[in-house]
Amino acid sequence: MSKKKLVSLALGTSLVFSASFTGASAFAQSSDSITSKMDIHQKVMNIDKKGPSFLSGKLSKGIVKNDQDVKKFIKDNKELFAVDPHSELTLLEKTTDDLGMSHYRFTQSVDGVPVDGAIFIVHTNKKNEVTATTGQLYKEASKKVTKTKSKINQKSATDLAWKHIGLSKADTLKGAQNEFSIDAKKDSKVENTTEKNDLVIHEKDGKFTLAYKVQLQFIEPYGANWQIYVDAKDGSIVEAFNAVTDAATTGSGYGVLDDYKTLNTYSSNGTYYLYDVTKPMNGVIETFTARNGSSLPGYYSTDSNNSWTAYSQAADVDAHAYAGKVYDYYKNTHNRNSFDNNGATIRSTVHYGSNYNNAFWNGSQMVYGDGDGSTFTSLSGALDVVAHELTHAVTERTAGLQYQYQSGALNESFSDVFGYFLDPGDYLMGEDVYTPGISGDALRSLSNPSKYGQPEHMNNYVNTSSDNGGVHTNSGIPNKAAYNTISSIGKAKAEKIYYRALTVYLTPTSNFSYARAALLQSAADLYGSGSSTYNSVKAAWDAVGVY
């Protein structure tokens, strides 16, 4: 699970640069008069000169064995630290560890108001010599905050913070009031919403502001740990961010057929993504939206509150949910980890093109059009279509069936057959998204290929060079053989046989006769040569004239 990060969303900004001094000689050449009293081994300065944030070496001359000694040490080096230890630093705690080192933890404050994040720690060794100082002091804080009297009170600061995020405390408690809720549950809900409010000095871009630091933590309607700094003089929002970032989340949404479903999503910096990190993959399942035509992969599908309810999000919802279902099917039924059996990322892009009546596997990802509204609606709305396309990816990594003539028709047929295995309610393909205005209609049928213009016996094989040699036409023949097989031996055995044939026996140039042999061999491996299962497969192909 270590790679489960939204790498492309993460932003790393390094505020510090590091310089290493290897001892007295390097140091002696330095013209840094400020640190000339010290023998510095390592120094990290904040780039914007807030003060040193990491300093180590032999830093003190005399003995430093209590907080008063530490303050004297800081005062002795006031050019470097630039704070008045007596008025600005408060000892929070002193600890001594197993190595005999002591750690003095201070916070900086101005007129008794803490500077947010200004924690400064002085470390001494067993011999009571200062060996390091760490943390952050703000050099100019006391000079830059002139008046530290607040004009607005704590209560109104909290109200302003809620207003800023467009919620009230009551909004975060909704949902407990359902018919099953009892008072105890309401109480646990109350506990899950926390308001904290502290007066602090807030630093941003070198500007120091007396502010209320309001922390709002809640679970509903979305997971949040808002940190909101409200200017104590005028009530304006100085800074606000949701510190709940980068977590796997569960959302929900409505699909193309307006059906409700839960979704594995990801929250990063207050935005939700169709990004599923819950599978035991090397990669993830991720869904994009092509905002403008045909550039791939497009943009991450996002939502502000993890309830994917917008009409425009329905195609995204289904592509994501169904990719997860197909993944689960191959993993649970065939122990295959993604299309490459190595846990590869399954990426989908929806809203491809304009009125585009198709879906395809582009060699590395799934792509779905929205249809023109009469021939098709958004194609990701059909689980069998999603399964069909992802099975092409499996075929590509296994049998490698060439996409022309009989091997091409087998390529199509295996995708349809696995479409059935994933969506076994009927033998129709694409019925959920095909001709939305006509009910009961479909693209193809395994049980009745001729209804949709496909041959279902070799006597009617279409000898053509169009459609790559009739791959979408002649697939009716092996499809009918699959129907004969499934209806005779049942789905559970049939899917084992078909998966074994696809991944073990079929090769790029396999034709129909070869497929019959491959399926029979798989049936023999699994259920015995001459078993009733074996004989059913044989009869299934006899019936369509393939020997």
Ligand X SMILES: *[C@@H]1O[C@H](CO)[C@@H](O)[C@H](O)[C@H]1NC(C)=O
The residue (of 148 and 245) whose beta carbon lies closer to ligand X is: 245
321 contact, one of ligand X, Zn ion, none, CB 5-8 Å limit per kind: none
| Least Å from the CB of residue 118 to ligand X | 23
Q: Is 389 an annotated catalytic residue? A: yes
363 contact, one of Zn ion, ligand X, none, CB 5-8 Å limit per kind: ligand X
The residue (of 40 and 409) whose beta carbon lies closer to Zn ion is: 409
| Least Å from the CB of residue 502 to ligand X | 11
| Least Å from the CB of residue 403 to Zn ion | 9
Cβ burial, residue 360 (10 Å; 0-12/13-18/19+): middle
E-strand spans in 385-465?
428-429, 444-445
- The secondary structure of 75-122 as a DSSP string is HHTHHHH-S-HHHHEEEEEEEE-TTS-EEEEEEEEETTEEEEEEEEEE
Peptide bond before 508: cis, by omega within 30 degrees of 0? no
The residue (of 230 and 409) whose beta carbon lies closer to Zn ion is: 409
| Least Å from the CB of residue 293 to ligand X | 6
State the residues that interact with Zn ion by CB under 5 A: 412, 415
User: Among the options 389, 412, 431, 456, which is catalytic?
Assistant: 389
CA distance 393 to 88: 65
The residue (of 389 and 432) whose beta carbon lies closer to ligand X is: 389
* Residue of this chain nearest to Zn ion (CB atom): 415
The residue (of 31 and 292) whose beta carbon lies closer to ligand X is: 292
511 contact, one of ligand X, Zn ion, none, CB 5-8 Å limit per kind: ligand X
Tokens representing 93 are 């705690």
Q: Tell me if residue 286 falls in helix, strand or coil.
A: strand
296 contact, one of ligand X, Zn ion, none, CB 5-8 Å limit per kind: ligand X
313 contact, one of ligand X, Zn ion, none, CB 5-8 Å limit per kind: none
User: Among the options 88, 334, 472, 495, which is catalytic?
Assistant: 472
Helix (H) or strand (E) segment spanning residue 41 = strand 39-46
Nearest-10 Cα torsion for 78, 81, 86, 90: -170
CA distance 377 to 315: 9
Count other Cβ atoms within 10 Å, centred on residue 113. Answer: 18
Computed on alpha carbons and rounded to an integer, the radius of gyration of the chain in Å comes to 34
Tokens representing 284 are 């993830």
Tokens representing 118 are 């200004």
State the residues that interact with ligand X by CB under 6 A: 11, 176, 185, 188-189, 192, 219, 221, 241, 269-270, 292-293, 296-297, 304-305, 307, 309, 347, 361-365, 392, 395-396, 400-401, 403, 411, 461, 463, 511, 513-514
| Least Å from the CB of residue 325 to ligand X | 20
- Catalytic residue positions? 389, 472
